Structure 1
């Protein structure tokens, strides 16, 4: 067998715990400084991931995302540690492909159009409680909007279990996001933060068990548009259905992934628009005219300019992986820095600026604009998230006036998985009284990035 000699990019030589402390203390500026020193690829040695190559070159990112799972597959560790062993985040290879195929239908076509009404309804309900004329953080509100919307899309109706999950999930997701990259103690996580999380997970499983039983007993699966009904009817190629554990883990994946990141991006949208009054004015005019092109471009630009996730990646499964200039040995992680490529002037001219018009004439390259990751592991709910952000932003701009500000940009604040605006996306709103009502829009389920 031919042995390929590793060829790794340079990187810091400090001990693992020092590099880990640096990464925690300076999660964003640290990567920028490493890129300035070592270039678009560098090798790090950090807790949890160990030896890893960080890349931000578009050609190398493209190659990684197009690499098959036999050579490089799911990053380890991953969110499956908190979402469950049957979650899409935990599955690999053909098993991942098989499960993903079952979960695509509810996020496209007729079903997605039905979910738009849910999102607008939840947005209007939340906006009714917003204070007028004084500052307030929108992030708690966008969290409630996205949680209630995904709960209704997943389960179809409200009830006792819906209320239980609405109370449980925010606590569970918040704690889980903080623990996602933390080691599980040797005693199995029976105490401390992991003990609390696993207790919540047991409570969640019991609620889902009751929901599944009630949904089966209702006998109306063919008339329902919700994800749970679809899961109960779906079949793998061999004719078998999803197990109870698979349903519980995949529902938790959809609820968690479709909640916090979307809510945080919406908070960043408010933060960005208040500091760019010309864009804000153009968006209001577009809403009143019944348009959507600039709004869709604005959502894309918010995700580029303020990505809520730092890194996505793969773990090398083959003996070695040739990736552009490098040869990465088996067991290494390859981490794609979303922030570094989004901030690259060679990829996005004037990358530090906020300019939605860069996307009004064309869609972004999905190997350069990567807030949802890429390749076979690109976020399954990307289309749902884009629809949700579109509807929330449209509804807010249609019914309220968002007051601009000259205050400095809000600082980045890590919530564990997601990077949020430090003040929660502070907003000041007023009711619109004399306004041209928007023309009737077509459904927002057209082409998406």
Structure 2
């Protein structure tokens, strides 16, 4: 709960280093820097973050729970740079009641039967991709996962095909790459001329909006809109509590957000899944046996453990907008950022026994606890596409392991690298595969079936 304005602020300990030293350490060695502070100070410490200023980093699930339960009047999302890049109608750009109203409309589109409807599409995209994979030669799997996840989003979320699909498949990776840099450096959010990053971004966004307008017009002209299951069509049909529809510009901003939040992230998590399974041959053998038997419990537990041991997003943050808030013994003043160290929580030995070990049985028959398992964030700003990402990971892994033999390795773990947005396998998640059966038999989707894969209503 929020404290009164005359509260005495009590902050966790902090390193006695100049701001510039903390900035350099965070920007150049962010993950190891945070872990060093965790080892020194424990589950709560203060720090000064570049672009955010004074911050408190927490990794105790009890404190995480308190933070995520703060009212919207006390804390707000701390991703203003992303909101500027993605647009004012993006979930990242909205705050308070506007965000709550928006989320209430978005969230139902990613649950229940609607998620199961995408299974055949995800499998077909995977089958088309793996048909091109070489045998007996090591290659990085992350680029392949990027293609699968992007194609799935463009077809399943945008409802794109033909020329629009081809245009988006070329445009979106360029926008995501540039947008990630702009989100990290707010000073670039100005038009310095034709070659400036912001001018290039606004030009590409104009292209994107034109494609969105075409997709929206086609969806609205469909004589049977109730038979469409792409997210764009569902958002066009959705209504706020007062009966008002989403504006087309807000739909465009949210669709762009869903690509940014769900493309590279899910692809990278899949690359980590292959990297982890290759280095744990017994776990790989058990998962393959389960897939062959038509079961999925261990596969789902494996996905949960991959996301715990290799979270691709290392932190989520809230900014204090009340005079102060109380978190356990600490009193955090207005203007401070409170950051949840996701990797720190996941490696907390008091939360997870043998936390640094990859154990596919850890979540077998158990649902991860919402304040200690945080790959999708938490609270009112938890990723609305979490169910979609989970579905995508399980279907892609199941399809690959059913069709191909993944060769184990005794090579060292791939290093954890970061591009400032996601933490990815330093060598791209390298794999060696052999075909278990001919890709494209009658039992399974063929590469050609991707173009005709339908989404049940």
For normalisation by structure 2, the TM-score amounts to: 0.92
Residue 60 (structure 1) aligned to one of 52, 59, 63: 63
Of the structure 1 ranges 282-291 and 212-221, higher mean CA displacement relative to structure 2 is found in 212-221
Query: Secondary structure at 2:55's aligned position in 1?
Result: strand
Q: Is 1:257 matched with 2:261? A: yes
Alignment partner of 1:6 out of 5, 9, 17: 9
User: What's 1:445 paired with?
Assistant: none
Q: Which residue of 2 aligns with 1:24?
A: 27
Q: Does 1:155 align with 2:155?
A: no
After superposition, the C-alpha distances for 1:80-118 in whole angstroms (9 at most, x for unaligned) are: 122111101111111111111111222122221111111
Instruction: Kindly state the Cα deviation for residue 268 of structure 1 after the two structures are TM-superposed.
Output: 0.1
The answer to whether the 8 A contact 1:119-1:388 is kept is yes
CA contact under 8 A between 2:81 and 2:186: conserved in structure 1?
no
Match of 1:137 in 2: 140
Q: How many residues align?
A: 438
Q: Is the 8 A contact 1:41 1:57 kept in 2?
A: yes
* Mapped partners of 2:11, 2:429: distance in 1: 40
Quick check: 1:47 aligned with 2:50?
Answer: yes
Q: Write the mapping of 1:302-381 to structure 2, written as runs, cut at 5 A.
A: 302-381=306-385
Q: Which moved more, 1:361-370 or 1:68-77?
A: 68-77
**Alpha-carbon deviation of 1:186?**
7.0
Cα separation, partners in 2 of 1:432 and 1:37, compared to 1, 3 Å: same
Deviations 1:185-216 (A, max 9, x none): 47446553333222222221121122212222
The answer to whether the 8 Å contact 2:175/2:201 transfers is: yes
1:292 is matched with 296
> Structure 1 residues 422-431 or 110-119, which shifts more?
110-119
Alignment of 1:35-114 (within 5 A): 35-114=38-117
* Aligned counterpart, 2:170: 167
Residue 197 (structure 1) aligned to one of 185, 201, 205: 201
Residue pair 1:45, 1:51 contacting (<8 A) in 2 also: yes
Which one of the candidate residues 220, 228, 232 is aligned to 1:228?
232
Which shifted more, 413-422 or 328-337?
413-422
Take 2:43 and 2:405, find their aligned partners in 1: how far apart are those partners?
42
Q: Is the 8 A contact 1:82 1:176 kept in 2?
A: yes
Aligned-partner Cα distance in 1 for 2:343–2:349: 12
- The DSSP-based 3-state class of the residue aligned with 2:46 is strand
Please give the root-mean-square deviation of Cα atoms over the aligned residues, in Å.
1.8
Alpha-carbon distance in structure 2 between the residues aligned to 1:282 and 1:108: 29
Q: Deviations over 1:135-159 (max 9, x none)?
A: 0000000000001001111133412
Measured in 1, the distance between the counterparts of 2:246 and 2:365 equals 42
Work out the CA distance in 2 between the residues paired with 1:98 and 1:40: 33
**2: CA distance between counterparts of 1:2 and 1:30?**
33
Residue 280 of structure 1: CA displacement?
0.2
Asked whether the 8 Å contact 1:143–1:259 carries over to 2, the reply is yes
Is the contact between residue 17 and residue 46 of structure 1 (CA under 8 Å) also seen in structure 2?
no
Q: Which residue in 2 is equivalent to 1:122?
A: 125
CA deviations over 1:8-55 (Å, ceiling 9, x no partner)? 111123232321110122111111101111221111112211111111
Q: 2:282 matched to which residue of 1?
A: 278
State the alpha-carbon separation in 2 of the partners of residues 188 and 11 from structure 1: 38
Partner Cα distance (2:358, 2:159) in 1: 37
**Comparing 187-196 with 419-428, which one deviates more in the overlay?**
187-196
Counterpart for residue 397 of structure 1? 401
Whether the 8 Å CA contact 2:190–2:198 is kept in 1: the answer is no
Distance in 2 (CA, whole Å) between partners of 1:22 and 1:189 is 30
Structure 1 distance, partners of 2:275, 2:32, is 20
Gaps of 5+ in 1: 441-449
Structure 1 counterpart of 2:417: 413
